[in-house]
Amino acid sequence: MTMKFNVLLASVAAVALSAPVFAKDLTVDLSGEPSSLDPQLQWNPDSYYVYRNIFDNLLTRDNAGEIVPQIAVSWERISDTETVFSLRDDVVFHDGEKLTAEDVVFSVQRITNPEFGSPQLGQFNQISGAEALDDVTVKLTTDGPYPALMAQLVKLSIVPKHVVEAVGNEAFNAAPVGSGPYKFEAWDRGISVSLVQNDAYWGAAGPFDSATFRAVPDAATRLANLQAGTADLVVGLDSDGAAQLAGQGSVQVLSAPTERVAYLGLNLDKPPFNDVELRKAASMAIDNFGITEGLLGAGEIPMAQLASPAHFGYEEKIDPWIFDPEGAKEIVSAKADLAATPATFATAPVFDQRIVQALQQMLNDVGFNISISVTDMPTYLNIVRSAPEENAELSFGRWSCACQDADGITYPLLHSDSAWSRVSDEKLDVLLDTARVSLDPESRQAAYAEAHKIVRDNYYVLPMYQAAVLYGASSDLTFAPTANESMFLNRMAWSE
Amino acid sequence: MCAAILAPVLAPLDPDRQNLLGRLKVPGFESRGVTYWLGTDELGRDIFSRLIYGARISISVAVLSVLLSGIVGVTVGMLAGYLRGWWETVLMRLVDIFLSIPAILLAIITVAVLGPGFFNVIIVLTLTRWPRYARVAYGQTLSVAKRPFVALSQAMGGSVPRVLWVHILPNIIGPVLVVATLEFGLMVLFEAGLSFLGLGVQPPTASWGAMLSTGRNYVATAWWIATFPGLALFLLVLSANLIGDRLSDTIGKGR
Amino acid sequence: MLIFLLNRLFQALITAFGVLTLVFFIQRLTGDPTALLLPETATQEDFEAMRRTLGFDRPLIEQYFAFLGDMLRFDLGKSFVQNAPVSEILASRIPQTLQLAAGALFVAFAIGLPLGGVMALMRGRWLSRWIMGFVLACQSMPTFWSGIMMIMVFGVWLKWLPPSGTGSFAHLIMPSIALGLLSLATYARITRSAVVDELGRDYIRSARARGVKMPRLVSKHLLRNSAIPVISITALEISQLLAGAVIVETVFAWPGLGQLTVQSVAARDFAVVQAVVLLGALVTIFANLLADILYSIIDPRVRLGSSS
């Protein structure tokens, strides 16, 4: 029996091992499958990791984070609201048709059409007009002066007008045709999406004959796949998971600071955090350095403003938080009754529960009375977007606008018009409005510097750190993670 | 059991006390004169103390949810089996409906509507498990109700609750108890499963399921986090099942 | 027989309708998915616009009747998260779920039944105790734990099996075992007690007294007469396997209905949730019906209709 069993296992093992290995193919394990492959629909990492390789964008960011040409080779602002782009004329879609200015215009009109219902509408609806001046020239018009236009256009993928109009939106999503370095090959629903290299790509297409993006929801399983060699690149690691990879020659851990800023949101309309002294005490109770170094340790950088060095509008001169639990205790003990008001800390399973628990402990240590409430993501989002009286007293978030501009993070979290914001400060509103429409970088920078200072002085929100992203990769793979968490196959290489 | 009740006396340390400098330390680790006999977890908390406090949560979740779902299920099952007719159709279809709704859906809905927490975990488990008791109680009641003493009691004008309580319940309780002990073990596992999906008892409260589901991410680097609660859980479920077997053998012989 | 079937069918329809109605309304108690679909920078106007696009601005009762209308036309609707027809999504998942359920049932049957038989026939001996220990162990481990342990041992350290995913027979082995363990224990126990019951019956005793050999008894009488409890538990087990697959499918990245359920419930992908629940309800109902019919074939003493 035992003998037979061993033979059986050995033969199974032989089957598993003898599976042909193509050194040139890449397997990436994501945490979920793409929601859509139509780049103008869903906008979440699992989707854009994949479709950004199928499509070219009007502009892009290089690995250093600078905005550089892609489909547009140059651009010129001809008035406060009008910009003219010159396009490459050597770009063809995967079906062989040439990419022209008409396609760019169509792409803009499609994503800004409210009836199309793109979730990304809010990022592009400042664009009021798109016009093809000739085959390789496009003029975009905005509602008013819009300084973040270029940062948004980095996310505008160009879709082929003739294909979308011929097959319709649903079929296009199921079998997308782009002009990018990789062509769509197959979508096994729930399992994986596979791409093959586009031989006719106008630029560098990277080293892979094909690439497969698989959906592997459990982080422990993704790590196991990497260690077993069945995946070359995995996402969604934390530093403790990365530690599991340490000392193994065949794998490496890659990390980069991102444009996500982690913060502790406070409900300013409810006790205890309607009291500025107690908010100050909370800021003193939190050991930011302990969290970033002791707990996270992946290169996170403590921040005292809602921006990071990866953003336009980051201000170097904002004072860091002061960790002083004894001082915090003193403030709290003077207002012990108010501080002891039961407060709820809303969070969801996707956030790092280690941080949430550490924060709770630090705050309770100085005399607050905080309990954690984990709900699933939609419930959490409903709670943090609700009116102040129904809202939780505390929430932990990691905000990304994918635009690397302070506008995308300060406006939603601090402006009184925004559903996410619990702040209502007229002076702050004016600064944010000014910075939003000014085309002069210097006056924008000055406005943000002042805004950060107001937030810091009033403890409206407690920014914590610039988040880092960790990837596990096969040690043969060369890949430079970027602040906008992109995953361009044509910027990777095999190190052999 | 004893450990669970005496937790505050037995546990050497505060189970929620974190120590970010002493994370993921091996069993026997000493720091500032304190020995962490079973090591520390991902936030530097004492695993031994958490294990003891976790026993309270895991056992009380299982006991309460078995009790609640047993009471609801048996009541529904007895009513359906005794009253027959429309009652039977309506109640048993209700049982079918609840059996068909995925537990995960009920769990998320409970958390979304009532919020998360210890009691809501019990509500989730009750909502998902009562139909099983209802089935057993229904089948048993059908056969007991045919016996002469029930008809006699009815003829003498016994009210429905009285007949159910005095005549039917004592005769069907055996098989229900067997189911309950087996369910007890399952409930411990279910609580762990809810923790794995992020819908369990709220952190930082220790439960074996929560400890195990975090610990599984550390199997290669810090085996002790998951091993000890895993072992405890295993022994608890094992003893529940053994009791269930003993009970079912005894009842089987009695028949 | 026909009346019995029609009656059951009618009741099944009522149940399915009840499940759908209940799921339709309680799902919507938990809020809509707009916030998940929109990027973090979306404004209140974007929210309203999205709600209109998805039809959530209409009165609930209107949405309900529209939904019933679609159901009557066998239109399962469209997933607004995956941007694809629900029927297409289900079609891709069902084969995976069937494979896994079949694998798990095979594990449970092929190991559970013989173990149960051996335990009954060798009652009181050490072998039986060891088997009981093994069966209890199978029953006492959370799958998210046993799953990752298997992956680490067989996938990472020994490299015998692929850690996760689909595509070959080798991929199916670990998830089937992980999912089958609990059912294995159930089958072993049921078989044991059924065989023990049968062994105590008069006909077996007298047959043994007449000198009929044990193997002949097992094949001729025991198997058939112990089959009823096994079949009735299979009906329950099948729906249990579909539900229990949630965690196994998550751990092994197995793209079946269980994973789809978790993901679509979490994403408030209403149409998909409704379809999955409906499917589950139909499977449960028909598995029970099938079990009832099988009883009457195996044991003519059971008359259809008497139990309903």
Burial of A5 (0-12, 13-18, 19+ CB in 10 A): exposed
Chain A within 8 Å of B118 (Cβ-Cβ)? Answer: no
Q: Quick one: closest CA in C to B192, which residue?
A: C142
Report A:165-204 residues touching C (Cβ under 8 A).
170, 173-174, 188-191
pLDDT tens for C159-171 read: 899 988 888 889 9
pLDDT at A95: 94
pLDDT at A101: 95
Q: From the list C15, C139, C144, which residue is nearest B96 (CB)?
A: C15
pLDDT tens for C239-277 read: 777 766 888 998 999 988 888 888 888 888 888 888 888
Percent of chain B beyond pLDDT 70?
93
End-to-end CA distance of chain C: 12
* Residue tagged 């085996």 (tokens): B223
Q: From the list A244, A294, A375, which residue is nearest B20 (CB)?
A: A294
End-to-end CA distance of chain A: 45
Determine, for residues B198 and A361 on separate chains, whether the beta-carbon distance falls below 8 Å: no
Give C253's contacts in chain A (Cβ within 8 Å).
Answer: 214-218, 221
Domain spans in chain B, listed from the N-terminal domain onward = 56-206+226-254
Radius of gyration of chain B (CA): 22
Q: How far is CA B41 from the centre of its chain?
A: 25
Determine, for residues C164 and A221 on separate chains, whether the beta-carbon distance falls below 8 Å: yes
The model's confidence at residue A257, banded by pLDDT at 50, 70 and 90, is very high
Residue B130 is classified by DSSP as H
Cα separation of C129 and B168, whole Å?
36
Burial of C42 (0-12, 13-18, 19+ CB in 10 A): buried
Cα separation of C277 and C256, whole Å?
14
SS3 A344: strand
SS3 B114: helix
**CA C77-C83-C84 angle, 5° bins:** 55
Q: Quick one: closest CA in B to C19, which residue?
A: B97
CA–CA min distance A219, chain B (Å): 8
Q: b/e string for A247-274 if b means 16 or more Cβ within 10 A?
A: eeeebbbbbbbbbbbbbbbbbbebbbbb
pLDDT tens for C54-81 read: 778 888 888 888 888 888 887 888 887 7
Q: From the list C23, C141, C285, which residue is nearest B101 (CB)?
A: C23
- The amino acid present at A249, given as its one-letter code, is G
Determine, for residues B216 and C144 on separate chains, whether the beta-carbon distance falls below 8 Å: yes
* Residue tagged 């299979």 (tokens): C234
Q: Is the pLDDT of residue A4 over 50?
A: no
Cα separation of C51 and C40, whole Å?
16
pLDDT at A106: 96
* C-alpha to C-alpha distances, A209 to A25, A198, A204, A488, nearest whole angstrom: 6, 9, 13, 14
- The amino acid present at B101, given as its one-letter code, is I
pTM of the entire predicted model? 0.85
The model's confidence at residue C307, banded by pLDDT at 50, 70 and 90, is very low
SS3 B135: helix
Q: How far is CA C124 from the centre of its chain?
A: 33
- Give me the mean pLDDT over the A84-94 stretch: 95
Q: Lowest-confidence range among A224-233, A352-361, A485-494, C190-199?
A: C190-199
Burial of A496 (0-12, 13-18, 19+ CB in 10 A): exposed
Q: Which chains touch C (3 or more CB pairs under 8 A)?
A: A, B
CA–CA min distance B134, chain A (Å): 30
Give B197's contacts in chain C (Cβ within 8 Å).
Answer: 246-247, 262
Chain C within 8 Å of B216 (Cβ-Cβ)? Answer: yes
Phi first, then psi: give them for residue A493, nearest 5 degrees: -155, 160
Q: From the list B20, B111, B221, which residue is nearest A376 (CB)?
A: B111
Tens-of-pLDDT digits for all 255 residues of chain B? 555 555 565 667 777 777 777 777 777 777 777 777 788 888 888 888 888 888 888 889 999 999 999 999 999 999 998 888 888 888 988 888 888 787 888 888 888 788 888 888 999 999 989 998 998 888 888 878 888 888 788 788 778 888 888 888 888 888 888 788 878 888 888 888 888 888 888 888 888 888 888 888 887 788 888 888 888 888 888 888 778 777 777 765 544
Q: From the list C54, C155, C161, which residue is nearest A12 (CB)?
A: C161
pLDDT at C40: 65
- The amino acid present at B19, given as its one-letter code, is N
**CA C147-B115-A393 angle, 5° bins:** 115
Report C:282-301 residues touching B (Cβ under 8 A).
284-285
CB A461 within 8 A of CB A306: yes
* Residue tagged 């529904």 (tokens): B76
Cα separation of B106 and C41, whole Å?
31
Q: Three-state SS string across chain C, please? A: CHHHHHHHHHHHHHHHHHHHHHHHHHHHHCCCCHHHHCCCCCCHHHHHHHHHHHCCCCCHHHHHHHHHHHHHCCCCCEECCCCEEHHHHHHHHHHHHHHHHHHHHHHHHHHHHHHHHHHHHCCCCHHHHHHHHHHHHHHCCCHHHHHHHHHHHHHHHCCCCCCCCCCCHHHHHHHHHHHHHHHHHHHHHHHHHHHHHHHCCHHHHHHHHCCCCHHHHHHHHHHHHHHHHHHHHHHHHHHHHHHHHHHHHHHCCCCCHHHHHHHHHHCCCHHHHHHHHHHHHHHHHHHHHHHHHHHHHHCCCCCCCCCC
Q: Quick one: closest CA in C to B98, which residue?
A: C19
Mutation target among C7, C145, C181 for the B interface, most CBs of B within 10 A:
C145
Cα separation of C163 and C147, whole Å?
10
Give C261's contacts in chain B (Cβ within 8 Å).
Answer: 102, 104-105
**CATH pick for B56-206+226-254 out of 3.40.50.150, 1.10.3720.10, 1.20.1250.20, 3.30.160.20:** 1.10.3720.10
Cis peptide before C114 (omega within 30 of 0): no
Q: Is the pLDDT of residue A200 over 50?
A: yes
Q: Quick one: closest CA in B to A290, which residue?
A: B20
Q: Quick one: closest CA in C to B105, which residue?
A: C265
Instruction: Please report the beta strands in A329-476, taking only residues with DSSP state E, as ranges in sequence order.
Output: 342-347, 369-374, 394-399, 461-474
CB A214 within 8 A of CB A227: no
CATH topology of domain A258-468: Dipeptide-binding Protein; domain 3 (3.10.105)
Residue predicted with more confidence, A235 or C42: A235
pLDDT at A51: 94
Q: Give me the CATH code for the A3-207+475-494 domain, please.
A: 3.40.190.10
Phi first, then psi: give them for residue C223, nearest 5 degrees: -55, -50
- The amino acid present at B172, given as its one-letter code, is I
CA–CA min distance B5, chain C (Å): 23
Chain B within 8 Å of A31 (Cβ-Cβ)? Answer: no
Q: What is the ipTM of this complex?
A: 0.81
What is the interface size between B and C, counted as CB pairs within 8 Å? 113
CB A211 within 8 A of CB A182: yes
CB C167 within 8 A of CB A214: no
Determine, for residues A15 and C168 on separate chains, whether the beta-carbon distance falls below 8 Å: yes
Chain B within 8 Å of A309 (Cβ-Cβ)? Answer: no
pLDDT at A348: 87
Domain spans in chain A, listed from the N-terminal domain onward = 3-207+475-494, 258-468
Cα separation of A113 and A105, whole Å?
12
CA–CA min distance B19, chain A (Å): 9
pLDDT at C300: 59
Cα separation of A272 and B180, whole Å?
45
**CA B4-B9-B15 angle, 5° bins:** 70
Domains of chain C with CATH codes: 2-86 (no CATH), 91-306 (1.10.3720.10)
Give A399's contacts in chain C (Cβ within 8 Å).
Answer: 40
Locate B37 and state its tokens.
């006999």
Residues in chain A: 496
SS3 A239: helix
Give A241's contacts in chain B (Cβ within 8 Å).
Answer: 217
Q: Is the pLDDT of residue C117 over 60?
A: yes
pLDDT tens for A396-432 read: 988 888 888 999 899 889 998 887 888 999 999 999 9
Q: Lowest-confidence range among A122-126, B132-136, C30-34?
A: C30-34
Radius of gyration of chain C (CA): 24
Q: From the list A295, A375, A378, which residue is nearest B116 (CB)?
A: A375
